Structure 1
């Protein structure tokens, strides 16, 4: 079922040559889907490896992964459609299902994924925060890859900049060339966020995890780092989902930052220590 999201039939748009990974007859596999699935698979293997380190079956995520991927995509799509319905879908409701055109809001995927994750791990008698520590750092890698899908779809870019500015960043020429959109060069905000997510992942893995004493610290650190990365970059974008005059992603980023900080304090004061879990 997941592969329904990466196939399109007899579709043509202005960026088809750049956005299409491979064509087989009438079927076209989009770079957008390749990036999303690659990131998801890497996150899966990182989580699987961590579960094995914690003493759980290395296959525990096999039943979890495909359902989570599908639910996450649906949640991300619903979130995007809600905030762009009047503009993009009111006159063409069938376009809601054309996911290969782009239009996934990761924050919606996070919400739906968290709900499903809570249900799944409770059913399998695995503490939710233990699972969160194992999985959430890898989500940052999935998001980093997903932003490259936005690049191939020519979306999630920022305001206008000069060619000289882009050259000063020492970017590869193919990025510079494809930041020329609608007659002007733009901030590669997809790249800023992708790099920010990778840095956040490394900080959690090599700093937070090293000094972690309480279960749930990595889980809540994800929300802190993601909020810190997303908020300023969202302010640069030209295609933000809006809630009235407010950029919705910035509002959610503030909420994530607050939840993350409160959560870290809570697990430090009230949470279970990793040493206690290891002893049990």
Structure 2
């Protein structure tokens, strides 16, 4: 008798009237929002403008979804194009099936388009969004839990995953590889954040670290899975992909650190222009306030300020005679002599 295990949901979809609410889709959507939200915080900390990450995500996310689905369909074509299968199912993305390798590759193309439109460097954007992508993957993997897919070998561990009888699967307890990968992705996000703060990674190296760290974990997790997959030289295709991409990411980190050390000082030129305008407006406002304050001080009674044209006391008027004198010092004219 098994005393502990992780239950699977009885269904991966809830119906709100005629509208189906699918757990897989919810996990993907929540992951995207988390990635954009956290990426925006990191972008602002690097000196970028608010909203830039979301604007570029408008390009990156659709490209990523298309690329992820294409990779899955191409590498598992037998599920859709073999005898007895319906090729229309290749478009049913809500039933699961997104390849992270295709999602990242095509998503990068979409991000490149968005970056060019905003006039910012793609490597800087990739560095800002990298931990958010890892967190999005961690959330998205729970979509596999809703669909009861991508589990590992049978096990009797306390955290075994209960799988019910269904198409192409047998009831039993299996390794929850979706959970292993979700936790690994959280660790990757924390690693990238720490390394970025510690070593001030720039020019795409934070993103490359995310890719390398993810591939390292995906390799051993993929090796545990039992779902149908193509094998090359005794290893699953995705294991080979993880190895190749890991080596490319590490090579990029090494070469980039030698050719372009340090971090970009400016990630979004438009943000600097806005800051300069804001500083100029503040300076003008400060000068205006100072001038107004000086004018107000001059108009105050008892301030010691003299109105324009005022003459000091005792000043002689034209002709040399003091104005308003007592007459004691005035000499009589000739007609006044006695």
Q: TM-score range by the shorter chain?
A: 0.7 to 0.9
The Cα of 1:122 is off from its aligned counterpart by 2.6
Report if the CA contact (8 A) 2:200-2:262 is conserved: no
Q: Find 1:247's aligned residue among 224, 228, 236.
A: 236
- Residue of structure 2 in register with 1:3 after alignment: none
Distance 1:240 1:272, change over 3 A: farther
The answer as to 2:102 corresponding to 1:114 is no
Distance 1:23 1:184, change over 3 A: same
Measured in 2, the distance between the counterparts of 1:264 and 1:73 equals 27
SS in 1 for 2:20: strand
SS in 1 for 2:173: strand
1:31-50 counterparts in 2 under 5 A? 31-50=23-42
- Residue of structure 2 in register with 1:132 after alignment: 126
Distance 1:213 1:23, change over 3 A: closer
Measured in 1, the distance between the counterparts of 2:88 and 2:201 equals 50
Q: Find 1:271's aligned residue among 260, 280, 297.
A: 260
Measured in 1, the distance between the counterparts of 2:229 and 2:266 equals 42
1:210-225 counterparts in 2 under 5 A? 210-225=198-213
Q: Which runs of 4+ in 1 moved over 6 A?
A: none
**Greater mean alpha carbon deviation, residues 178-187 or residues 83-92:** 178-187
The Cα of 1:73 is off from its aligned counterpart by 1.1
Q: TM-score, normalised by structure 1?
A: 0.83
The answer as to 2:143 corresponding to 1:155 is no
The Cα of 1:210 is off from its aligned counterpart by 2.2
- Residue of structure 1 in register with 2:225 after alignment: 237
Aligned pair count reads 255
Measured in 2, the distance between the counterparts of 1:258 and 1:236 equals 21
1:33-182 counterparts in 2 under 5 A? 33-90=25-82, 91-162=85-156, 165=157, 167=158, 171=159, 176-178=161-163, 182=170
- Residue of structure 2 in register with 1:6 after alignment: none
Measured in 2, the distance between the counterparts of 1:24 and 1:80 equals 29
State the structure with more CA Rg.
2
Measured in 2, the distance between the counterparts of 1:112 and 1:215 equals 20
Answer 1 or 2: which has greater helix percent.
1
The answer as to 2:247 corresponding to 1:258 is yes
Distance 1:266 1:34, change over 3 A: same
Measured in 1, the distance between the counterparts of 2:115 and 2:126 equals 10
Distance 1:85 1:35, change over 3 A: same
Q: TM-score, normalised by structure 2?
A: 0.70
| Runs of 5+ consecutive residues of structure 1 not aligned to the other structure | 1-14
SS in 2 for 1:18: coil
SS in 1 for 2:97: coil
Q: Find 1:185's aligned residue among 152, 155, 173.
A: 173
The Cα of 1:236 is off from its aligned counterpart by 0.5
The Cα of 1:154 is off from its aligned counterpart by 0.5
